[in-house]
Amino acid sequence: MDGEFSGAHSGSMETLGTFESLVRAEFAPKNTYLNTASTGLLPARTVAAMRVAVESAAAGDPTDMFGDVEASRTAYARLVGVPDSRVAAGASVAVYSGLIAASLPEGAEVLTAEGDFSSLVNPFHIRSDLKVRSVPLERLAEAVRPGTALVAVSAAQSADGRIADLPAIGEAARQYGARTYVDASQATGWLDFDADAHDYSVSVGFKWLFCPRGVAFLVVPADLGGLTPLFAGWVAGERPWDACYGPIDELAHSARRFDESPALFSYAGARRSLELLAELGVDTIRAHDLALADRFRTGLAALGHTPVPSPGSPIVSVPELGHRQGELSEAGIEVSDRAGNLRTAFHLYNTTDDVDRLLDALSS
């Protein structure tokens, strides 16, 4: 990883130096990787932990990967500001969206943003007896009305990085007695996300949290939000190792009743990724990411391109340039083509040289 890190960090030069040294020790991309909104890079410590877990299992002496699940749960709870008793550990957003969709009564209205990510919204559409209404993201708060049961929205839009006005949406939902469900998959890891401000929230780990695939977290209210643990297996028992056979006598008293049977090797790595995130600090990561995104926006303006407005977001999406994704990839610059837009995503392992390399390529 070459190039300079952004200087727009909060805190002292010592903090900046620690950030740079940690990042350089953990990440060494061989290309210009600007595609975290698709998949984040894995830190070296995460790869090492997964290797140990796999090799130990192969030798018949597995590590305590269930301990890794609990450590990951606790780390995520600390990140989003809730007790770990409110966090379920699973593998995907779609499963948890399905769980929440199943909890709604027949005829309930679900309000969503137009073009939001399918894993968030599609489970509500699968239930043909629900009324799903979609409006532009910017109008979501004003579109809440009497009879709206649930507002489901991504904190940051996958396609273009636009950030939802979560305080306004939450206030409107409370006014009309609706619940909120926020997909923070494109936000946790750089946005200061407060899960306690929402009824339900969910996030995968393999993007901005730089965890392996197969890790996701659901946050529910302290009273468990009226959800029925429809897919409860043995891990959902209050005493899991006593719940392996027959019906479970006692479900977990916490959100663990909504756990999926964990992808253990992924959680062995996730524990280390979340530890690194805590060491680096979300505030420092956010300052770094946004400085790079702003540098890119400035460069785009000089080239005559106007990105989709997404102030305060490290995701920058440029209309009508998606077709260049293939040639950029061949040149060693990884970005995404989303709905015809060229989507870039700047994260902790990116540098100013990465930004400039992409701008140079786009100018040719």
pLDDT of amino acid 339: 85
Q: How many CB atoms lie within 10 A of CB 25?
A: 12
Strands (E), the chain: 32-33, 87-90, 109-113, 131-135, 148-154, 179-183, 200-204, 216-219, 315-318, 333-334, 336-338, 341-345
pLDDT of amino acid 7: 54
Rg (CA), the chain: 21
| Measured distance CA(306)–CA(312) in Å, rounded | 16
How do the pLDDT tens digits run along the chain, 364 residues long?
A: 667 766 544 456 566 678 999 999 999 999 999 999 999 999 999 999 999 999 999 999 999 999 999 999 999 999 999 999 999 999 999 999 999 999 999 999 999 999 999 999 999 999 999 999 999 999 999 999 999 999 999 999 999 999 999 999 999 999 999 999 999 999 999 999 999 999 999 999 999 999 999 999 999 999 999 999 999 999 999 999 999 999 999 999 999 999 999 999 999 999 999 999 999 999 999 999 999 999 999 999 999 999 999 999 999 999 999 999 999 999 999 999 998 999 999 999 999 999 999 999 999 8
pLDDT of amino acid 6: 67
Contact 142, 173 (CB under 8 A): no
pLDDT of amino acid 14: 62
Using alpha carbons only, give the angle 13, 19, 343 rounded to the nearest 5 degrees.
Answer: 120
Expressed in percent and rounded to 5, the helix, strand and coil fractions of the chain are 45, 15, 40
DSSP state of 251: B
| Measured distance CA(165)–CA(154) in Å, rounded | 10
**Residue 160 corresponds to which tokens in the numbers above?**
């273009």
- Run of H or E residues at 362: helix 352-363
Question: Which residue, 14, 22, 10, is CA-closest to 348?
Answer: 22
DSSP assignment string, 164-212: P-HHHHHHHHHHHT-EEEEE-TTTBTTB---GGGSSEEEEESSSTT-PP
Using alpha carbons only, give the angle 63, 68, 74 rounded to the nearest 5 degrees.
Answer: 160
**Residue 328 corresponds to which tokens in the numbers above?**
């950029």
- Run of H or E residues at 1: none
| Measured distance CA(158)–CA(105) in Å, rounded | 29
- Give me the domains of the chain, ranges plus CATH numbers: 13-43+281-363 (3.90.1150.10), 65-279 (3.40.640.10)
pLDDT of amino acid 13: 53
Terminal alpha carbon distance of the chain? 24
